[in-house]
Amino acid sequence: MAGSLQDQLLKAGLADADKARKLAKEKRKNAKVARRTGVDPADEARDLAREARAEKARRDRELNQTLNSKAQRKAINAQIKQLIDANKLERGRGDIGFNFTDGTKVKKLYVNEIQQQQLSAGRLAVVKQGDQYELLPRPVADKIAERDAGRVIICSDTDAPALTEEEQDWYKNYDIPDDLMW
């Protein structure tokens, strides 16, 4: 049997003698540097590899968190769409225009008289589905608001603060007509 693997490769002609000498010289240099500094180049390589693995794991966690939040948002949107489709009220041919604000824009839905009264009383709510607006019962709108409050446009005016005693007294001298429409 021959000596080292290096010798066997040289005899077989698979390795170059100059290349083998350069590798041996580099190996001796690294060993000498390691003895002087007390730091092994192999340890440095292991540390760099460990840091690279830790960085990759951190990036993977961030990516997974982003994907999970997108999937969760998609599931919530599907739930909201299902709630709206299952519970929306048919507006039919409403003849009363009901105005409401969506952000900075004033929108109008045509509803019938009963729906207008229920909207004013807070028993119905206006909910945004894409670029459409639907009427839903208040309990369903509350479920949607739990998932995404931005989708519920209007529930009622009962959310507004009540008039104080002084404000009520100020208006008591004025008659409000019965046929007044807001």
Cβ pair 40, 34 in contact under 8 A: yes
CA 42, CA 39: separation in Å to the nearest integer? 9
Sheet holding 152-154, edge to edge: 132-137, 124-129, 152-154
Token pair listed for 115: 């729906």
* Confidence (pTM): 0.54
pLDDT at res. 159: 47
pLDDT along the chain (182 residues), means of 10: 73 82 86 75 80 94 95 91 87 82 86 85 87 88 87 66 62 67 61
